[in-house]
């Protein structure tokens, strides 16, 4: 998910921390088909990886390697704090990683501005995000953004 934070006025807002909170209970992974879509062009962003297998989840900044098989991605380390205002925004990609469970979760962003502090909850319009491990996947289907199945990266898919 892409998280973009921007202020509502010229006043500087400091983003002190981004954390991930799981909502219990954790369940066994869903059985089904893993689907991935490769798309886009080379881009740059601050990448945070949330390990949902841990309790509490850990959030780390990833700075090497590739994401979902996308080789043309530049990963910039996330180093808090960040400042935002109405004319300055910061964007993060928060990637939830889980290998053991089926998990509901949300993001909490700690901020401060002009002597005030707070926590903003980021979720799916009032509902938690939902991520399941692919350990129970019966098939893996990888699609190009143009709509074609990438056979060499897929297994157990029909089409």
Using one digit for the tens of pLDDT, what is the confidence trace for 98-129? 999 999 999 999 999 999 999 999 999 999 99
Whether the pLDDT of residue 57 is over 90: the answer is yes
What mean pLDDT is predicted for residues 19-40? 83
The predicted model scores a pTM of: 0.80
> How big is the chain, counted in residues?
159
- Rounded to the nearest angstrom, the gap between the alpha carbon of residue 133 and the centroid of all alpha carbons in its chain is 14
Euclidean distance between CA atoms 51 and 8, whole angstroms: 31
* Both structure tokens of 77: 């380390």
Euclidean distance between CA atoms 137 and 18, whole angstroms: 30
């Amino acid at each position: 998910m892409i998280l973009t934070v921007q202020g509502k006025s010229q006043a500087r807002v400091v983003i002190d921390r981004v954390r991930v909170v799981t909502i219990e209970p954790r369940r066994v992974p869903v059985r089904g088909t893993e689907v991935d879509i490769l798309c886009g062009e080379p881009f740059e962003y601050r990448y945070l990886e949330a390990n949902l297998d841990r309790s509490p989840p850990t959030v780390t900044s990833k700075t090497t390697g590739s994401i979902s098989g996308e080789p043309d991605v530049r990963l910039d380390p996330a180093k808090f704090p960040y400042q935002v205002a109405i004319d300055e925004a910061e964007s993060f990609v928060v990637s939830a990683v889980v290998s053991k469970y089926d998990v509901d979760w949300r993001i909490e962003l700690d901020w401060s501005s002009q002597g005030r502090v707070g926590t903003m909850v980021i979720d799916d319009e009032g509902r938690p995000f939902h991520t399941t491990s692919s350990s129970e996947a019966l098939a893996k289907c990888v699609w190009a953004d143009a709509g074609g199945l990438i056979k060499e990266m897929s297994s157990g898919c029909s089409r």
